[in-house]
Chains A and B, each alone.
Chain A
């Protein structure tokens, strides 16, 4: 079955760069049409799509955050990495990675990242 799990720091300081890793199993990111996306959710607020990488290394970013985001994949390790630069307290959120096949059909448990000095 498909599983995903996010990992990374739980606390980052303002201006620092956040690096999150999504480690998955049950599918291959070299299969045509498959993607892995990142979505975040500030405490008590709505979901916000951040980025997505496809099997063919095509990358898509949220227009409002594009300058701060980088998404990469390591197919051999079954991992997708998201980096977000210049972190700010408003970036405090639970960050989810999700398998994409026309919709975000499988989600990780999420990881809470707090931005504070």
Chain B
């Protein structure tokens, strides 16, 4: 069982927007602005899409955005494209004892 809870799957049609939630606790997501999101295509290494809750690395499309409210972080993808179909993982710093925790992953299907 993963420390952060994500929906197993989400889907959307091209051009639509979807949001993936990542629920933690007051010991991780709720306490630190060190939430990151990773995209993983089959057979590939994860790719950083969002860091520090809402910052985008250079080269990541502005269709990807992140936010946080309380113990829940969210990744929103607008203007869905076929290439966005992948697994998405959230990750949060969880303090000096647990350090970093990942979510269970969400499979995004573009219909």
Q: Report the separation of the CA atoms of residues A103 and B32 in the bound assembly, to the nearest whole angstrom.
A: 13
Contact of A104 among B46, B52, B101, B104 (CB under 8 A): B46
Contact of A102 among B47, B52, B103 (CB under 8 A): B52
Starting from the known contacts A48-B102, A49-B102, 13 additional A-B residue pairs (CB-CB under 8 Å) come to A37-B100, A47-B105, A49-B99, A52-B99, A61-B99, A96-B45, A96-B46, A102-B52, A103-B52, A104-B36, A104-B38, A104-B91, A110-B45
Q: CB within 8 Å of B: which residues of A?
A: 37, 39, 46-49, 52, 60-63, 96, 102-110
Task: Give chain B interface residues in 7-66, CB to chain A under 8 Å.
Answer: 34, 36, 38, 45-48, 51-52, 57
Q: Report the separation of the CA atoms of residues A104 and B104 in the bound assembly, to the nearest whole angstrom.
A: 17
Asked if A49 contacts B101 (CB within 8 A), the reply is yes
Asked if A52 contacts B100 (CB within 8 A), the reply is yes
The residues of B that contact A110 with a CB separation of less than 8 Å are 45
Asked if B99 contacts A60 (CB within 8 A), the reply is yes
The residues of A that contact B98 with a CB separation of less than 8 Å are 63
User: Can you sample 27 A-B contacts with CB below 8 Å?
Assistant: A39-B46, A46-B2, A46-B89, A46-B104, A47-B46, A47-B89, A47-B102, A48-B102, A49-B100, A49-B101, A49-B102, A52-B99, A52-B100, A60-B99, A62-B99, A96-B45, A102-B51, A103-B34, A103-B36, A103-B51, A103-B91, A104-B36, A104-B38, A105-B48, A105-B57, A107-B47, A108-B45
